[in-house]
């Protein structure tokens, strides 16, 4: 692996799976059980319900294994990148984060907190129109972006 590949590897944004599930009792529980049997843990979750289907947005501890499992089982999914920010002071950092993104005129499509902490701090996962740009402006504002290799250690 070259030096530039190592730098890029360290800067991979957190991967999120979006899985369409039927809107019925136990649908997500079945998916979670299937993943659990492979020791894949959900560390971030957002659910969006509609009358006939639900979209589960998942951050997992082993995205490569999850992708392999979904492909083996024929589970349709989409993969996207999230920008994850460490919230040292939840209220103050959230306000600062949102203000910085607003001032930079970048769109925040949705956000949710992760169920794990990083170095004792809460984590906010955000889907932005441009993660690289968002990471740059947030870092310049003194906020800490957490990349996938740091989160999944």
Beta strands in the chain (DSSP E): 14-22, 42-49, 53-60, 77-87, 108-113, 122-128, 144-146
From CA 42, how far away is CA 61, in angstroms rounded?
Answer: 7
Write down the pLDDT at residue 140: 96
Contact criterion met (CB below 8 Å) for 145 and 135: yes
Per-residue pLDDT of the chain (153 residues; tens, 9 = 90+): 454 444 444 479 999 999 999 888 888 999 999 999 999 999 999 998 877 888 999 999 999 999 999 999 999 999 999 999 999 887 899 999 999 999 999 999 999 999 988 888 999 999 999 999 999 999 999 999 999 988 886
* Predicted pLDDT of residue 6: 45
In the chain, where the domains are located: 14-80, 82-151
Please give the angle made by the CA atoms of 116, 121 and 123, to the nearest 5 degrees.
55
Q: What is the pLDDT of residue 23?
A: 84
Residue 58 burial (10 A CB sphere; 0-12, 13-18, 19+): buried
CATH code: domain 14-80 is 3.30.2130.10
Beta-carbon count within 10 A of 60 CB = 22
CB proximity list for 111: less than 8 A, separation 6 or greater: 124, 125, 126, 127
Structure confidence at residue 12 (pLDDT): 92
Angle at CA of residue 52, ends 48 and 58, nearest 5°: 30
pLDDT at position 101 is 96
Six token digits for residue 45: 């979750």
- The pLDDT score that the predictor gives to residue 153 is 63
CATH number of 82-151: 3.30.70.260
């Amino acid at each position: 692996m070259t030096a530039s590949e190592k730098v890029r590897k360290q800067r991979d944004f957190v991967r999120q799976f979006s899985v369409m599930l039927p809107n019925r009792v136990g649908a997500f529980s079945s998916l979670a059980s299937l993943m659990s049997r492979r020791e894949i843990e959900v560390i971030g979750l957002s659910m969006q319900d509609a009358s006939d289907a639900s979209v589960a947005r998942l951050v997992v501890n082993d995205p490569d294994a999850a992708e392999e499992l979904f492909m083996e089982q024929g589970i349709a999914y989409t993969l996207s990148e999230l920008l994850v920010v460490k919230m040292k002071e939840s209220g103050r950092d959230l306000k600062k984060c949102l203000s910085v993104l607003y001032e930079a005129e970048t769109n925040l499509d949705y956000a949710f907190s992760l169920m794990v902490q990083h170095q004792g701090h809460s984590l906010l996962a955000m889907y932005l129109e441009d993660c690289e740009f968002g990471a740059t402006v947030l870092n310049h504002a003194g906020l800490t972006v957490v990349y996938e290799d740091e989160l999944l250690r």
